[in-house]
Structures are given as structure tokens and as C-alpha cells.
Structure 1
Amino acid sequence: MSSRYPRMRTGLLTWQLGRSLVALYLHFICAQKGIYDDSLRNFFRNVDTRGNDDGIDISRGKICSLKARAVLIDMEEGVVNEILQGPLKDIFDSKQLVTNVSGSGNNWAVGYKVFGSQYRDQIVEKLRQTAEHCDCLQCFFIIHSMGGGTGSGLGTFVLNLLEDEFPEVYRFVTSVFPSGEDDVITSPYNSVLAMKELNEHADCVLPIENESLFDIVSKINHMVTSGKPGTTVKPESLVTLNEGGIKKKLQEKPFDTMNNIVGNLLLNLTSSARFEGSLNMDLNEISMNLVPFPQLHYLVSSLTPLYTLADVNIPPRRLDQMFSDAFSKDHQLIQADPKHSLYLACALLVRGNVQISDLRRNIERLKSSLHFVSWNQEGWKTSLCSVPPVGHSHSLLALANNTCVKPTFIGLKNRFSRLYKKKAHLHHYLQVDGMEENCFIEAVSSLSSLIESYNELDVTKGFPVHDQLRLNIVI
């Protein structure tokens, strides 16, 4: 909507930082004037701690000390400690941390049943304190992984808590799905158990696959090493580290870059809340316009250009090509091909010097190649933010409610089936108090129901039903 709508402070919650929140700090880094303005207020508090241990919030004026509106939760304190000892340690409130030392042992039941019960009151109190610092709490972001025990278990426990404590506040979840070759043997169990909670308690879920992130990193690496004219990388960037002329950091440890891609997803998603624009979009409009059925709230995201990292400069693509790229399978953050699947709705969040006429022209150009449900042929939601990403003239985030997400869920169900058929590792879960085998049956039933819902939509458009849907779980 237009900028006459009041700007809202957004509540941001992460169960584990994983560096993806770090990208939001780029907004502060690029604020050359050092002034605490409305855009910074969305994700940061300006705290003056002089003479006051608790600090006093300053609503306007010069930046004193920024504190992120975030709660960091991880049952392996080493992950959080690594952040608190790094260059961004000062932006996180040390009182808004929840950590343990043992971890969840890659066990959803330990994260959800044990640590959820043990830390419930502490988490609720920290959530309440963070929310009270917001003038108008618009939504929560939960960033978590699905394969481990804490991310899947405690992460979805927190999601459940948010619905209980803040039932009117929208819950956006960024879920990182494990790859088929994940080194956590129990990740299919953890992911399917977590999926049931996401189905029931999330308003919008942005699924992301590690495989897709790694593919994007590989493309960035190819662009950097190909010697293409105009391609530059800043020294000591997240992408590469020059040592004797050899760029090697990306190949050895791509996780920082992979997390930064997720961070750029959030930067584009929240751009309308942070900057002015001719057609700004309220975050809650995404759920209102893109989720026609409560259960089908999984949105496939794509970024273009892929290389919107602040420390990589690559010659910009033509504007029209940018829109075409957004619907290509090579730009999706999950392994999916939206062009050959069915759209329920689609949102385009554009940043930079782009006109409404450019948006309309490209939508009309692409419509004929995209398959929309018959009852929502004009199911487009658009947003224009005038401020582009750092180092780029324009960018585009596309969010599609599309049945192409179904193969991700089918693959997850199949990996679950192979383990569950043999009852492999099941005893680790059943020895946790309150955990019963029926929990697995209910979880896979919930996932099967979700797959079937997408299948029914595909059938109406004549898309083939995946043969693997006929696989049954052996109880």
C-alpha cells in the first residue's frame, strides 16, 4: 500500500542466529549519518545505557547503542557464543539469550518435550520483554533448521508458544530443510515431526533447502572465478579470502555465504517496512493475499539477482531479464520449477529504480507462461521499494504459493518412510517422557494430508500425480 500508512516496528525472533540476522545489520552499516530513524526502529532499539544498567530507549536522534529486537535460543551455547565474541556482539542484548550446553542430540523430542518444558517460562518472559519494547508489534520471524533437535523441536515449540501468548500477531517462519545426503541420520524424523507443528501453528513458511543454497553459492563462486568483466569482490568478504592471489574461503566453508543468502531474503522481504516506496507492502498482506487456504501457507521464494551480497559486485541484469529469472528454477531457494506447476498466488517485491509500468508490463509478458488456478487468474501482489540493495540498481524477491513445493515434501516423506519401516533409531525418541509412537503416526499423517492437498490442486489443472504418493507407511 502507499506510504501514508503508519510505519510499524517489527518484532523479530530467532531461535538461533546462524548469521542470517547479521545481514539486517547491513542497514545500520550503510546508515552513514549515524541517525536513528524510522527504518532502523523496525529491527533495532536505540539504547542509552549511561547511568542506567537496564538502558533507556531513545526514539529519535543520534545512535547511542543499537540492540536488535531478537531473542537468541540455542541449546548448544557455542553457536551463540561465537556470535557474541564476533564483530556484531554489541547489537545483541545479553539478557535476551537462552542457551544450554548439552544440545538436543539431534532429537526432536528432546528439543520439544524436554527443553521446551524446561525453558518455557524463561522464553515467554524474554519474548514478553522484547515485545514490550515495540510500539506496534507487526509480526514475528522465526529462523530455524529442520534437521537437528533444537531447531526442529525447540524451534517449533517456540512457534506454538507465540500462538498461545500472541495469538493476534502473525508468525513468519524461515525453515531450512536438510538435504537428502544430510549427515544427521535422524533428520527425516525431526523434519516430519516439525512439519506437523508448522502446518498447525505458522501463518507463512518460507522453506529453504540446503542443496539450493549450495548451488547458488557454487554459481557465485563460478562468477567470481570466471574473470567476467565488472565482477569484483571486496577484500576479506564472506565469499572469498585472498591469500597469495588464491580465492579459497568459499570452497572450504560456504556456510557464511549460505546464511547470508537467507539474510538477503529477509532484507528484501522487510524492505517495505524499512524504506519508503511508491507501493509499499505491509508484511501481513503477504499472508492475506498469498494464503487462500490455512494449511497451504508454504511460499517458494526466489531472489534475483542471486548475487545481492553486499561484498560482491556483478554487472546488473537487464530489468526484464530479472523478472524472467525470478520464475526460473535456477533462482529458487528450494529445488523446484514453478513454471511447470500450479500457482495459487504470487507476490513480487521489487527494490530500486523500477516503475509501476515496468511491473505491469512484465506481469503481462509472463502471465501466458504461468499456470494459475482458475479462480485466481489475477492473483498477483506487488510491492515497490525505492531503495535498492547495497551495490545494485534493483532487485526482486518473488514469493509464490505454488504446488512445486510438493516434491520437497514427498522426498522428506520417503526418507522418513525408509527409517520408520525399520523402526531405526526410534528408541531414542520413545525414551523421552511424553513421547509416544503415535506422535510419528500423527506427524506423517499431517504431512500426507498436506501432500494430498497439493495433489488435488494439480489434478484440477491436469498435472501428473507423483507416483511416490502411493507409498504407505508400514506401522
Structure 2
Amino acid sequence: MLSREIINLQVGQAGNQVGESFWQDVLAEHGLDQAGIYHGTDPVQLQRVGVYFAEVNHAGSQSKYVPRSLQIDLEAGVCDRVRSGPMGGLFSPETYLHGESGAGNNWAKGFYTEGAELIDPILEVVRKQAEACDVLQGFQVIHSIGGGTGSGLGCLLLTKMREEFPDRMLATFSILPSPKVSETVVEPYNAMLSVHQLVETSDLTICIDNEALYDISIRALKVNSPNFKDLNGLISKVMCGVSTSLRFPGQLNGDLRKLGMNLIPFPRLHFLMPSYAPISDPKTQSYQGTSVPELVQALFDRRNLLVACDPRNGRYLTAATIFRGNVASREAEVAVRELQTRNSNQFVEWIPDNVSVTLVSVPPVGQKQAAVALSNSTSIQELFLRTHETFAAMYKRRAFLHWYTGEGMDVMEFSEAESNSQDLIAEYQQYQEARAGDEDEYDEEEAPSEGFSQ
């Protein structure tokens, strides 16, 4: 059976650290060791392993599974660390691509100067990986948009790939900066310039922010001072959940395009909020049962969202729920429909059946059942408003701009990014307020709320 392949690109320090965590989880789920050799016992593990891995013969008759992944950074340190780490031998040597001087947290360096020097060798390897695929469905890019490399070089890469592979899906896992967990003062500039590009180039952008990750780690996982390993573990759980229906056979399986079809009603509004359930302290896990209605309730609970915004302040345009483990389809569909009926005013009524349900029988390693949701909610404008306010405060006084113009960037780009962001916020607001009836007679309390997908 042909696997519809995905090529993974992890860009910058955050992208590579999250990527490492993702590959550890994916290896475990497919019964592979850190060298890519299969040790599992369940044939389902290898049925669709080709989505992320290329099979090569190794040491005689034994197969080795090599991730279809590029590790990219503008300085050598991160790539060297991955290469010398426990999974260093897993990736093909030609897929480590790095510059020398770094981006210094400057978007313009990543997009215009340092990044531009590295882009041709990166595209060369991407082409080679794509040519080796039977049916390439698309790319996933893991990056942070607060620094210089993940944001600047990440956006340049997306722009070039959009030109070169116009009919393939481009999905991003984008880590947004948060004012509470800020690392550099120019994060709002980098984030604003990145969102400006992501609106145009990406098909699906799954937003994650550090503020929500810290909150979940402290509140639910009971980790007093979370480190990046804890935060990356959470992101990785969501990434594995989102890709489950691509990597394992199951009911209502899809691919990236099908996911996009169900979730993106308008091309610009492709920014999604992920949530995961159950999130609990590993010590208490064995004492807790999770019923399907509890999983559904948790997926739509603000505290399980990986972005710091409140869905109660907006309305859901669409959502996709992916259940893992031994879950009956009828039970999942009924639980989703009941939640929608109870909260009908939070779901737009002019998209019927706007919550899809996918079931995969393979649970995450160490858990019996779990679920992931991707929500397209108008409340995500809170994230963009937050960035916009911090951006505007600095840009009004033209603070720090010389670092960007010094790399050959035009000041007009900042103004364009700002107005594009304002347009995006206005579009979300417009659809939040839209009602099914042309007149204002429509009573939102009585909105029809049939919400499960056949």
C-alpha cells in the first residue's frame, strides 16, 4: 500500500529541539529504536511507516527506517548537538544544513542575508527528498516565530517551497512568543513579520505558545519550574496526535489535504488552536479513568489549549477531533454532538456539521486513550492582538528598526505586516459576528447544533 509521504523541516533552535522530541515519540509508536531499526511486534506499526520514513536496506537483510527530515539552523551548534546526540545516526548526514554566524534574533538576517545564503543548498536537499517520494502529500515545518532563524529563514523557506511545490500542502507548527515568557525584546517584530508571511504561504498553521505550555506544565503536570524538555514533550504529543490518522489505519482516515478541507473555510483563516487530553501528572495517571465524554469536555476546555486565549470570547468556525485508543465511533460522535448542543452559541450555525471525528485504534505509548483537537476559532485573534499591541508600541517610535534596515530591509515592510495583521483580526471578527439569517432576527440561543461528522 502506498504511503502518502510528508517531508519534515525543523528550522532554528526551537524547531530542532521540538523535532527531536517529536521523532522520539514517533519512533516509539512505530516500534523503532534510535537507529531506525524495527523491534516492534505489531504489523500495524509498519503498515504506514512510509509517511515519515524511507526504508533502506541495512546490514544485510535488515531494514533501517530513515526519517524524511531536514535539520536546519543558521549556526552549527544545534545541528552538532543533534548529530552527536542519541539520535544522531538516525538522520541522513546530508540533511543537516547550517550556516555559521546565526541570525542574532533578527528576522531580516534569517530572511534576507544569512538565510538567503543557505536557501539553495536547503532546496536542493528538499528536491532530492521529494523526488524519492511516490505520492508526496506535503511538508510540515516546525519553527518558532519569535527568534531570527525559525521566523526569518522559516518564512523564506515557506515562500520558496510555495513557488516550487504549489500543489502540495504546507503545514506549520509555529511557536508564538508570549510577553510573559519573553526571551528577546524584538520578538513582536519577528512574530509580526512572520505572521504576515504565514497568512500568504501556509495552508495550515498550528499555533502553540509558550505561555500556555508553561501554564499546563505547572498546573496539570505539577512541574514547578518547567524546562524545554517538558514543554517540547507537550508539543510532541499534539504533533503525534495530529499525524496519527496519517500514520496508522483507522476510521475516517485522512491526509493533510482532507484535514485542511474540514478545517479551513476561508484561505486566510488557517490558524488553528491545538488541545490535548488527558493532560495529567504522570504519578496520578494510573488512578484516573477517562471516559469519552470527559475527553471531549477536556478538548474544548481552555486549560487544555496550547495557546493562551479563551475560546469563550469567540466562536468555533470548525474543529477536528482525533481519538486514539479503543473508542467506539458512536460514543465519540454522540459526545461531540452533546457538547455542541450544550454550547451551541459558541459554534457558528452557518457551517453545519462543523466538528469532524476521526478514530485511530493505536493509543499513544503509555496511555490507553487520548485525544487531540484542532480548532479554528475566532478567539485566536487574541493572539494576534497581543502581538500587535507590543509591536505597535515599539514601531510607533521606530525602536530597534536600524537592526532590520541594516540587513537591507525596507521600513515599508513593517507597515505592510501591521496592516495585514489588522485585516486578519478584522476578518476573524467579521465571521465571529456573522449569523445564518440575513436579518438580525436570528436567535443565537436556538442555533441548530448537530455537530458530528459522518
- One fold, TM greater than 0.5? yes
Q: How does 1:21-420 map to 2 (within 5 A)?
A: 21-22=22-23, 23-29=25-31, 32-33=40-41, 37-48=46-57, 63-181=62-180, 182-222=182-222, 251=224, 254-307=227-280, 315-368=288-341, 369-370=343-344, 371-420=346-395
Is the contact between residue 12 and residue 142 of structure 1 (CA under 8 Å) also seen in structure 2?
A: yes
CA distances 1:253-287 after superposition (whole Å, capped 9, x unpaired): 61012112111111111111211212222221111
Q: How far did 1:63 drift?
A: 4.7
Quick one: distance in 1 between partners of 2:86 and 2:285?
20
Is the contact between residue 115 and residue 149 of structure 2 (CA under 8 Å) also seen in structure 1?
A: no
* Identity between Structure 1 and Structure 2 (%): 31
Q: How far did 1:34 drift?
A: 9.2
**Which amino acid in structure 2 is aligned with residue 72 of structure 1?**
Q
Is the contact between residue 310 and residue 390 of structure 1 (CA under 8 Å) also seen in structure 2?
A: no
Could you say if the C-alpha distance between residues 309 and 26 of structure 1 is closer, same or farther in structure 2, counting changes exceeding 3 Å?
Answer: farther
Is the contact between residue 323 and residue 370 of structure 2 (CA under 8 Å) also seen in structure 1?
A: yes
Secondary structure in 2 aligned to 1:296?
coil
Quick one: distance in 1 between partners of 2:30 and 2:410?
47
Equivalent residue, structure 2, for 1:241: none
**Which amino acid in structure 2 is aligned with residue 94 of structure 1?**
P
Is the contact between residue 308 and residue 389 of structure 1 (CA under 8 Å) also seen in structure 2?
A: no
Equivalent residue, structure 2, for 1:226: none
Q: How far did 1:98 drift?
A: 1.1
Secondary structure in 1 aligned to 2:174?
strand
Equivalent residue, structure 1, for 2:452: none
**Which amino acid in structure 1 is aligned with residue 148 of structure 2?**
G
Residue range with higher mean Cα deviation, 140-149 or 332-341 = 332-341
Q: How far did 1:107 drift?
A: 0.5
Quick one: distance in 1 between partners of 2:347 and 2:125?
43
Quick one: distance in 2 between partners of 1:297 and 1:63?
42
Quick one: distance in 1 between partners of 2:203 and 2:264?
8
Secondary structure in 1 aligned to 2:392?
helix
**Which amino acid in structure 2 is aligned with residue 12 of structure 1?**
N
Is the contact between residue 319 and residue 354 of structure 2 (CA under 8 Å) also seen in structure 1?
A: yes
Q: How does 1:445-460 map to 2 (within 5 A)?
A: 445-460=419-434
Q: How does 1:413-432 map to 2 (within 5 A)?
A: 413-432=388-407
Residue range with higher mean Cα deviation, 185-194 or 100-109 = 100-109
Quick one: distance in 1 between partners of 2:56 and 2:87?
16
Q: How far did 1:207 drift?
A: 0.6
Q: How far did 1:430 drift?
A: 0.6
Is the contact between residue 29 and residue 364 of structure 2 (CA under 8 Å) also seen in structure 1?
A: no
Quick one: distance in 2 between partners of 1:150 and 1:428?
15
Quick one: distance in 1 between partners of 2:377 and 2:327?
25
Quick one: distance in 2 between partners of 1:40 and 1:78?
30
Secondary structure in 2 aligned to 1:105?
coil
Is the contact between residue 147 and residue 190 of structure 2 (CA under 8 Å) also seen in structure 1?
A: yes
Quick one: distance in 1 between partners of 2:62 and 2:279?
32
CA distances 1:234-258 after superposition (whole Å, capped 9, x unpaired): xxxxxxxxxxxxxxxx555610121
Is the contact between residue 46 and residue 63 of structure 1 (CA under 8 Å) also seen in structure 2?
A: no
Structure 2 unaligned blocks of 5 or more? 33-38, 441-454
Q: How far did 1:101 drift?
A: 2.6
For the aligned residue pairs, the C-alpha RMSD in angstroms reads 2.3
Secondary structure in 1 aligned to 2:395?
helix
Secondary structure in 2 aligned to 1:302?
strand
Aligned length: 420
Structure 1 unaligned blocks of 5 or more? 52-61, 223-249, 463-475
Quick one: distance in 1 between partners of 2:114 and 2:150?
12
CA distances 1:16-54 after superposition (whole Å, capped 9, x unpaired): 421343322222446524988332221112223569xxx
CA distances 1:173-203 after superposition (whole Å, capped 9, x unpaired): 1100111131211100000001111000000
Normalised to the residue count of structure 2, the TM-score between the two structures is 0.87
Quick one: distance in 2 between partners of 1:311 and 1:88?
30
Could you say if the C-alpha distance between residues 327 and 194 of structure 1 is closer, same or farther in structure 2, counting changes exceeding 3 Å?
Answer: same
Could you say if the C-alpha distance between residues 204 and 131 of structure 1 is closer, same or farther in structure 2, counting changes exceeding 3 Å?
Answer: same
Which of residues 5, 11, 15 in structure 2 aligns to 1:9?
5
Is the contact between residue 188 and residue 391 of structure 2 (CA under 8 Å) also seen in structure 1?
A: yes
Q: How far did 1:416 drift?
A: 0.2
Normalised to the residue count of structure 1, the TM-score between the two structures is 0.83
Is the contact between residue 98 and residue 118 of structure 2 (CA under 8 Å) also seen in structure 1?
A: no
Equivalent residue, structure 1, for 2:36: none
